[in-house]
Structure 1
Amino acid sequence: MPSGLAFLLLPFSWLYAGVLAVRNWLYDMGWKRPATFAVPLINVGNLRVGGTGKTPHVTWLVEELLRRGHRPAVLSRGYGRRTRGPRLAGPADSASTVGDEPWQYFQQFSARQVPVAVAEDRRLGVAQLLHAHPALTVIVLDDAYQHRAVQPTLNVLLTEWARPFYQDWVLPAGRLRESRRGAWRADLIIVTKCPPGLSAAAQAAVAQRLGRYGRPTSPVVFSAYEYARPRALADATGESRAEPAAPPARTPAPGPALLLTGIAQPGPLREYLESQGYTIQHHACFADHYAFQPADLAALRANWQPGWPIFTTEKDATRLQAPELRAERDQLPFYTIPVRVAFLDNGAATLRQLLPGAPTPGN
């Protein structure tokens, strides 16, 4: 049971969970019907608010679909953007117009002709994508697990190793968007951010507990993060820049460093940097999707000394590209740490078996 204030909030959690349970029941019984489309929809979502690793898993899926010869697209809600309604991402957009995660997808995949769109109503977003790109063969839905108005072909549910949903409670007593029973809709459950050497016995124990809520036929697989070498922010964005006060080295040497994050779970990145020999002298930690301000970078600079690298995430880097930040940003040696997914044991093979096969010639 939750303790302290969370315990007092339990009645509100039960009320919230009850409302969602009624809505889900209406869909399950067919009283409300989700929209279906001519192309497969692969949803990557979670039960918990933020921080389960959706972005790198969506990236893995898009890369795998491209490898198979598909013409994929990505559709997201576009959380934190200053626009509304369906919108196709284009070169003139930014994190402020489409959201930080969709803008990250656009920067990663636009050269490979992968459309990215945002829409609060996923039905409108899918329709817009198919109208603008009729040759699409699959659409990856980023964070649409609770968006029952569309019917995914494959429902992938993520839960963190350190914070599995079976140890959490529905909002506001906990961080779950709906009750644990929502896991029944999952076709596959991925336990994310696992220790790379997680034993088979530990995996089996977690899979057994997850099995109490998921379907018996839904596999449980495990994934870990792999971090790539630091990349200078100017190289990652492709921007031209004025000569900085402290030009960044291509590979910063271990030693003192700063960290700037605006993500839900910055702990794993900090732990990784410390394991690589960096001593984090100051961590400017902001809420998920936080829009950085010039004053934030000025405060960061006050804690910085020449020769110290400043690390951030690829997602945060999309918001650091805002024009109003350029004067402060270009005076500091920012580096992004690319993160990718590595599945444990046969997890990747299990997921690949559930993906749509290669498209037929002419599609």
Structure 2
Amino acid sequence: MNFLRKILFPFSAVYWFITSVRNFFFNTGVFKSYTFPLPVIAVGNLSTGGTGKTPQTEYLIRLLSPLYNVAVLSRGYKRKSKGFVLASANSNAQTLGDEPYQFYSKFPNIRVAVDANRKNGIEQLLSLSPKPDVILLDDAYQHRRVKAGLYIVLTAFGDLYANDYILPAGNLRESKSGAKRAGVIVVTKCPPNLSARKQKLIADKLSPALNQKVYFTTIAYDDAVYSETESVDILTLSDTPKVLVAGIAKPQPFFDHLMEPGDDCMEYPDHHDFTDVEVEELNKISLARIIITTEKDYMRLKGKLPANRLYYLPIKSEFIINGNDFDNTILNYVGQSTGNS
């Protein structure tokens, strides 16, 4: 722990006390948690971002949507709207938030909604016709007014919650013991060749309970980048001058995957709302070069930069091993569940 974090450690003790009391009240029923008569899966983490919730949620959508009427409910981080909003043809990143808008744009066969009050959001979704068969709660691990039937907690390979501290000395939103609420632990952003020995060492460090399963995933980049009208194979871009733009929590792997000599990298804060001045700056820096951004950033930059020069690189979450077992765990829960209490 560095010097600054040592200074902040007493504040972490206060934060730990507050979050622990809150969790105790929910666990004992002093604070009421609400359940609903359908399968509810919550995807989240203990730390403050950068664990790959979006690709993991998309994995669940791909798995479940061919079989069930799926709805995704998010709070819509940094959106300009308030209350419950159901995604529609008039929606954009400002009304939904970048990640929900990405879900809506990629998966038109599902319902996507945002509401900071997840209980109200679920009630609104259940009032629709037809009702969803299963609801995915995006980034809702600490939202305990709703009790999900299955919790999936994510932790990044290079930033395990077992090695971290509570805010502000570390990046944890709550104590490491909060991971015990999860039925599934997914270690994300692993090297694709992570050995079985290292997987076991990591699993041992996370100390899963007997009822918990630990899985390991890696980020798989698409072979092409996409604009509004076309796709271009990445291999053909090695000699193409470009500007790489990322407003995500940990952008270095994205830059490393695409960067060639002479390219420029522009880094912004996570979920960054690009101003007119910044868009103009990107236009000036890029000149005639193409601009490649992350899929999440594309949702916020689309319509602000020339469509013929703006591209995004999709990513997917892929299991290194035991992917079929993970799928069966999810499908068995959804198929057998008549509720999530």
Q: Give the TM-score normalised by the residue count of structure 1.
A: 0.87
Shift of 1:191: 0.2
Other-structure match for 2:57:
58
Q: CA deviation at 1:253?
A: 1.9
1:21-69, Cα deviation, whole Å (9 max, x unpaired): 00100111122221000111001000011110000110010110123x1
Alpha-carbon distance in structure 1 between the residues aligned to 2:56 and 2:226:
23
Deviations 1:250-283 (A, max 9, x none): 7552034321111111112112224xxx336221
Aligned length: 334
Deviations along 1:81-109, one digit per CA (max 9) or x if unpaired, are 01111111111111001100000001011
Q: Choose the corresponding residue for 1:129, options 113, 119, 125.
A: 125
Residues 121/254 of structure 1: CA separation in 2 closer, same or farther (3 Å cut): same
Q: Deviations over 1:161-217 (max 9, x none)?
A: 011111111111111111111111110100000000100000000000001xx4222
Tell me, in whole angstroms, the C-alpha distance in 2 between the residues paired with 1:155 and 1:330. 41
CA deviation digits over 1:219-272, x for unaligned, max 9? 110000111133332238xxxxxxxxxxx9675520343211111111121122
2: CA distance between counterparts of 1:336 and 1:268? 15
- Closer, same or farther: CA 157–280 of 1 in aligned 2, 3 Å: farther
- 1:253 matches 2:251: no
Contact kept? 2:223, 2:233, Cα under 8 Å = no
Q: Secondary structure at the match of 2:237?
A: coil
Structure 1 equivalent of residue 290 of structure 2 = 309
1:334 Cα offset (Å): 1.7
The structural deviation recorded for 1:350 is 2.8
Give the corresponding residue for 1:335.
311
* Structure 1 residue 359: Cα displacement: 8.4
Report the identity percentage. 37
In structure 1, how many angstroms separate the alpha carbons of the residues matched to 2:324 and 2:193? Answer: 16
Measured after TM superposition, the shift of residue 317 of structure 1 is: 0.7
Q: Indicate the residue corresponding to 1:286 in structure 2.
A: 268
Give the structure 2 partner of residue 103 of structure 1.
Answer: 101
Matches within 5 A, 1:39-188: 39-67=38-66, 69-110=67-108, 112=109, 114-188=110-184
Flag the 1:280–1:142 CA change in 2: closer, same or farther, 3 A. Answer: farther
Instruction: Report the equivalent of 1:263.
Output: 248
2:185 aligned partner:
189
Residue 294 to residue 316, structure 1, CA distance change in 2 (3 Å): same
Q: Would the alpha carbon gap of residues 86 and 157 (structure 1) be closer, same or farther in structure 2, given more than 3 Å must change?
A: same
- Tell me the TM-score normalised to structure 2 length: 0.93
CA 1:7/1:336 → structure 2, altered by over 3 Å: closer, same or farther? Answer: same
Name the CA shift for 1:265/1:138 in 2 (closer, same or farther; >3 Å).
same
